[in-house]
Amino acid sequence: MEIKDFLDIKKLQELQDQFSDATGLAAIAVDNQGEYITEGSNFTDFCMKYTRGSEEGSRRCVKNDTECSGTYFCHAGLMDFAFDIVVNGEKIGSMIGGQVLPKKPDEDQFRAYAEEIGVDPETYVKAVRKVPVSDEKKIRASAKLLELMVNQLVNLSYNEKKDSGKVGDLSKEITHATEVIETINNNTHSLKSIANKQKMLSLNASIEAARSGEAGVGFAVVAKSMGDLSSQSATIYGDIEKSVAEVTEAIQKLDHLFHD
């Protein structure tokens, strides 16, 4: 299952951008192959140039001596998050982000770390100053809210796509049923017409049998039987026409429900 097959990525991008604007957290969506689905929102130069977020296990925050576990991880003093995008129990992508400081940075510590990794300390600290700062509780709550919103959007889009396919199939079946009923109706009219002709032939035969006197008695019996059968057939065909009309009306009402 590919997320792009049923989701309008522009809607996901808009949700992601609004989330980042409101919280200051960076965010980006990827598919199961690790390919970007959306464009990154709110990633700073520090995030792009000096950090390497990872989803592998737990990490110890640099110069912060705290543990970030589960779907939260830390690198270069930043707190990040990651969560799965799931439809019907199947993971179809992920959202990763965060890239915020859980507390005001100690610039001396960052200068020292910059020297360790061979980066100009002042340039490094200047980049750090542009990184948003938010306490860990807010970061976790914001990430959880984004997880709920993204998964709700994706699942609603999936169900909408799936239901629209079912409606299309049902519409085709309704059209087919209408065609079959029309054929039955036409055949019934033809048979009813034949029954009427049989009735006329039976009446004519009865008249000729009467003219023939005793010689036409046996023929008169046959003619009467033909007349009875044609009358019964006409009644049956009338009932069929009535049933067909009721079924046609029901199908037309279904058709209106799905197309109005």
CB within 8 Å of 201: residues ≥ 6 apart: 226
The verdict on 183 and 60 lying in the same domain is no
The verdict on 124 and 20 lying in the same domain is yes
The verdict on 89 and 182 lying in the same domain is no
pLDDT in tens, 103-113: 888 888 888 88
User: What CATH number is given to the structural domain containing 107?
Assistant: 3.30.450
For residues 246 and 130, the model is more confident at: 130
What confidence tier does 12 reach under pLDDT thresholds 50, 70, 90? very high
Q: What is the largest CA-CA distance in the chain?
A: 132
> Is it the case that residue 258 has pLDDT exceeding 60?
no
Q: Which domain holds residue 222?
A: 166-259
> Is it the case that residue 100 has pLDDT exceeding 70?
yes
Q: Which stretch of DSSP H or E encloses residue 190?
A: helix 136-211
Counted domains in the chain: 2
Structure confidence at residue 164 (pLDDT) = 64
Residues facing 79 on adjacent strands: 74, 100
Count CB atoms within 10 A of the CB of residue 100: 25
> Is it the case that residue 156 has pLDDT exceeding 70?
yes
The verdict on 97 and 41 lying in the same domain is yes
The tokens of 180 are what?
């079959």
Q: How far is residue 10's CA from residue 151's CA, in Å, rounded to a whole number?
A: 15
The verdict on 9 and 126 lying in the same domain is yes
For residues 62 and 108, the model is more confident at: 108
